[in-house]
Amino acid sequence: MILPSPTTSFEWVGIDGVPGLVCRPLEPFAPHLFTTRHWRLGSRTLESDDTERWNEVAAALEVDERRLVRVRQVHGAEMAIARGGVAIRQDADIIVSDDPAFALAIRVADCVPLLIADRRTGAVAAAHAGWRGLAGRVPAAAVDALARECGSRVEDLVAAAGPSIGACCYEVGPDVREGFTLAGFSRKELDEWFVNAPVPTSRNPSMPGLEAKGRPGRWFFDGWACTRGQLIAAGVRSAQIFLAEICTASHPGALCSYRRDGAPAGRLAGAIKSVRRRP
């Protein structure tokens, strides 16, 4: 099994024989993982229902599937909260909890899976952000939700972004850049997040079929820099932000990509569980 190499803060682990990615600096504060296409959720061809697909993720975090809180993701920046035995609000892209009875999960296939833990209180957040979510400031909204709902102080937050499509592969049209302009991001931020040509690296080769020089009127979007920049702007310490920096589209053997595979693409999960601490 060939797995891509993440940045040094991340490590592959075997969970019942299937690989999952964990962020070592996040681990002491919150059990969590990012899945691969080797999981049931990662394949659309397996004949299993939704509950079965999520059972595997729930088991990995040692909760019952009914205690693995998911939401209907709508590419927005609204929040759901799981607390006191109930999960409130079903349409959302951010889930927060300080209740160890629950684990939280989001699913992606190119979008950024963002997991955050409060190292003081043990509160956690799971967020899903594609370009629309990032233009809608999902990272900052997740930080705000932890502060508002769980009393988190921003200096205590540790954030980990798992695999998502990178600037090696993510060609977008002018509408995407325009979306960030309309949302009020600065020219400096836009120039950092949108580049004219794909940016392949030894870690992340560009997917086949892309023009190395780029194309007129098209951009390559760096969702990793955008996520990091927004977390820093929200007050999260740079040294407490970790990006796996592996591109879903670059690694067909391991990761699910909607851009690469279209509708048959499976999904990757990002999941995290609160551990109650004494504030």
**Which parts of this chain interact with Zn ion (CB under 5 A)?**
166, 168-169, 204, 247, 249-250
Candidates 111, 148, 140, 112; CA nearest to 229 is 140
Nearest approach in angstroms of CB 268 to Zn ion is 14
Q: Which residue has the tokens 């098209």?
A: 218
Nearest approach in angstroms of CB 259 to Zn ion is 9
Q: Rank residues 100 and 252 by Cβ distance to Zn ion and give the closer one.
A: 252
Nearest approach in angstroms of CB 131 to Zn ion is 15
Nearest approach in angstroms of CB 11 to Zn ion is 21
Question: Could you tell me which residues come within 8 angstroms of residue 14 by beta carbon, excluding any fewer than 6 positions away?
Answer: 20
Nearest approach in angstroms of CB 73 to Zn ion is 22
Candidates 17, 16, 20, 41; CA nearest to 31 is 20
Q: Rank residues 170 and 242 by Cβ distance to Zn ion and give the closer one.
A: 170
Contact 169, 210 (CB under 8 A): yes
Nearest approach in angstroms of CB 262 to Zn ion is 16
Nearest approach in angstroms of CB 75 to Zn ion is 21
Three-class SS state of 269: strand
Element (H, E) at 88: strand 86-88
- Exposure pattern of 154-174 as b/e (b: 16+ CB <10 Å)? bebbbbbbbbbbbbbbbbeee
Q: Rank residues 42 and 166 by Cβ distance to Zn ion and give the closer one.
A: 166
Instruction: Give, in order, the Cα–Cα distances in Å from 80 to each of 1, 97, 211.
Output: 36, 9, 40
Q: Which residue has the tokens 């980990």?
A: 160
Q: Rank residues 125 and 247 by Cβ distance to Zn ion and give the closer one.
A: 247
Three-class SS state of 219: strand
Q: Rank residues 3 and 275 by Cβ distance to Zn ion and give the closer one.
A: 3
Q: Supply 92's token pair.
A: 């959302």
Nearest approach in angstroms of CB 49 to Zn ion is 31
Q: Rank residues 14 and 209 by Cβ distance to Zn ion and give the closer one.
A: 209
CA distance 164 to 230: 16
Q: Rank residues 166 and 223 by Cβ distance to Zn ion and give the closer one.
A: 166
Q: Rank residues 82 and 168 by Cβ distance to Zn ion and give the closer one.
A: 168
Instruction: Give, in order, the Cα–Cα distances in Å from 199 to each of 7, 37, 112, 194, 254.
Output: 17, 24, 18, 11, 20
